[in-house]
């Protein structure tokens, strides 16, 4: 006999996006349940945890999860030329994802959300008036369901949401490597991140998070990056490196019957950097708003699909175009672009105001216009 529970909304997945959606809905006085397949949240999440400071201004996020504040970034070309971005203010934070995820869920629970662990949702059915969310031992009845399952797309296949257009792989290891406590390093080069980039991000107690985001063989490329850019440290074993897929592009559909898909589950991830927290939280707000309007005044739940795509689809497309272009660039091409930027103060002065931590299309357009001309001239 299955245990039955009734809610206005059931959220599937207690990652940051699921917990934040549940929190927003509880704040709107709905009865909300959140169902998570793991024992708890935030234990050993694989993520660098870099979030722009604007996210902390815009969303109600746990400040106590911040480990480091970032006020500069240095970009390294394949040969080691450097470009320094130093805006004289903190523009990003590095959070401890374990603490971040746990605190977000706690906020949701303190707002009245019921949380259920070790419950893997295996199916969601809509019978014309309510949804049944099914786990092995329970059924949850809800007027609307939010799927926030991250890169677990098993439910998508059953429900017809499709999968993201593509995937990248994020590989990362924590090492005791001295780095400036408030500066991130971005390393570009075909030898360790073909068509993409690697990073060294300060974490706590003198350790750094070192990673690459690539199309395949992340462990191999990350070891190359460490060998070339970190230097003399004890050899890093492949088993110390962790790898996880990152959605690169949206799912085909993110709203059907009374079910909405939010966060990485919907492919709401920056296609440039693989960062998923800001876009996921933004879409959590959009989803909570649409659900409220639907349940209180009968507005269409499908408006969610239109609203989030209007906000983000162009950014996601442009990032993917940049990735295709970057795969075609040789290390020599990249050197030329670095040299050009270093030698053209006026070009940089026009670039700087276009930089935004969360929206990259403006910078990409500016660079593409300048560089397509530059690269044509040189080929």
Ligand X SMILES: Cc1cc2nc3c(=O)[nH]c(=O)nc-3n(C[C@H](O)[C@H](O)[C@H](O)COP(=O)(O)OP(=O)(O)OC[C@H]3O[C@@H](n4cnc5c(N)ncnc54)[C@H](O)[C@@H]3O)c2cc1C
Please report, to the nearest 10 degrees, the dihedral formed by the alpha carbons of residues 361, 364, 368, 374 taken in order. Answer: 160
DSSP one-letter code for 165: S
Chosen residue from 10, 47, 214, 367 binding ligand X by CB under 6 A: 47
Stretch that binds ligand X, among 34-42, 105-113, 317-325, 362-370 (CB under 6 A): 34-42
- The C-alpha angle with vertex 202 and arms to 196 and 204, in degrees rounded to 5, equals 140
Among 32, 35, 326, 363, the residue binding ligand X under the rule CB under 6 A is 35
Give the nearer residue to ligand X in terms of CB position, either 24 or 269: 269
Report whether 65 contacts 99 (CB < 8 A).
yes
Q: Which stretch binds ligand X (CB under 6 A): 33-41, 179-187, 190-198, 339-347?
A: 33-41
Q: Please tell me whether residue 226 binds ligand X under the rule CB under 6 A.
A: no
DSSP per position, 254-317:
SEETTEEE-GGGGT-S-TTT---HHHHHHHHHHHHHHHHHHHHH---TTHHHHHHHHHHHHHHH
CB neighbourhood size of 237 (10 A): 10
Least distance CB 263 / ligand X (angstroms): 3
The answer to the question of residue 281 lying near ligand X (CB under 6 A) is: no
* CB-based contact 201:67 (threshold 8 Å): no
Q: How far is the CB of 339 from ligand X (least distance, A)?
A: 29
Rounded CA gap, 181 and 168, in Å?
28
**Using rule CB under 6 A, residue 280 touches ligand X:** yes
Q: Does 319 bind ligand X (CB under 6 A)?
A: no
Stretch 103-142 residues interacting with ligand X (CB under 6 A) = 120-121
Among 7, 18, 102, 267, binds ligand X (CB under 6 A): 18
- Say which DSSP state 226 is in: H
Q: Which among 67-75, 274-282, 293-301, 371-379 is the span making contact with ligand X, rule CB under 6 A? A: 274-282
Q: What's the residue count for the chain?
A: 379
Considering the rule CB under 6 A, would residue 148 count as an interface residue with ligand X?
yes
Please report whether residue 271 would count as binding ligand X according to CB under 6 A: no
Closest distance between ligand X and the C-beta of residue 376, in Å? 34
19, 108 Cβ separation under 8 angstroms: yes
Smaller CB separation from ligand X, 97 or 336: 97
Nearer to ligand X, 202 or 276 (CB): 276
Rounded to whole angstroms, the Cα distance separating 161 from 153 reads 9
Query: Do the beta carbons of residue 200 and residue 230 sit within 8 Å?
Result: yes
The token duo for 80 is: 């080691």
Taking CB under 6 A as the criterion, the residue among 22, 23, 26, 49 binding ligand X is 49
- Applying CB under 6 A, the residues found at the interface with ligand X are 12-18, 35-38, 41, 46-51, 120-121, 148-152, 155, 170, 172, 211, 244, 246, 263-265, 269, 274-278, 280
């Amino acid at each position: 006999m299955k245990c039955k529970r009734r809610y206005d909304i059931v959220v599937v997945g207690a990652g940051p996006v699921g917990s934040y959606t549940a929190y927003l809905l509880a704040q709107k006085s709905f009865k909300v349940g959140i169902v998570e397949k793991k024992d708890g949240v935030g234990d050993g999440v694989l993520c660098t945890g870099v979030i722009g400071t604007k996210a902390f201004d815009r969303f109600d996020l746990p400040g106590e999860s911040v480990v480091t504040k970032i006020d500069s970034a240095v970009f390294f070309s394949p040969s080691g030329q450097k470009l320094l971005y130093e805006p004289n203010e903190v523009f990003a934070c590095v959070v401890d994802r374990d603490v971040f995820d746990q605190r977000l869920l706690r906020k949701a629970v303190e707002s009245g959300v019921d949380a259920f662990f070790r419950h893997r949702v295996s199916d969601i059915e809509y019978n014309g008036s309510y949804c049944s969310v099914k786990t092995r031992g329970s059924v949850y009845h809800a007027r609307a369901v939010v799927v926030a399952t991250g890169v677990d797309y098993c439910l998508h296949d059953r429900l017809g949401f499709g999968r993201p257009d593509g995937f990248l792989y994020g590989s990362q290891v924590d090492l005791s490597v001295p780095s400036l406590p408030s500066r991130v390093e971005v390393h570009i080069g075909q030898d360790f991140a073909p068509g993409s980039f690697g990073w060294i991000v300060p974490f706590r107690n003198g350790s750094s998070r070192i990673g690459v985001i690539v199309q395949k063989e992340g462990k191999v490329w990350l070891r190359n990056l460490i060998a070339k850019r970190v230097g003399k440290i004890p050899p890093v074993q492949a088993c110390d490196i962790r790898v996880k897929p990152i959605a690169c592009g949206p799912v085909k559909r993110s709203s059907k019957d009374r079910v909405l898909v939010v966060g990485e589950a919907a492919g709401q991830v920056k296609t440039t950097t693989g960062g998923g927290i800001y876009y996921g939280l933004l879409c959590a707000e959009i989803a909570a708003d649409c659900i409220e309007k639907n349940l209180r005044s009968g507005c269409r739940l499908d408006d969610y699909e239109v609203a989030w795509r209007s906000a983000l689809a162009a950014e996601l497309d442009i990032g993917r175009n940049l990735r295709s272009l970057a795969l075609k660039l040789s290390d020599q091409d990249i050197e030329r672009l670095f040299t050009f930027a270093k030698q053209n103060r006026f070009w940089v002065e026009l670039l700087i105001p276009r930089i935004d931590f969360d929206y990259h299309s403006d910078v990409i357009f500016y660079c593409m216009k300048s560089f397509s001309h530059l690269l044509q001239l040189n080929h």
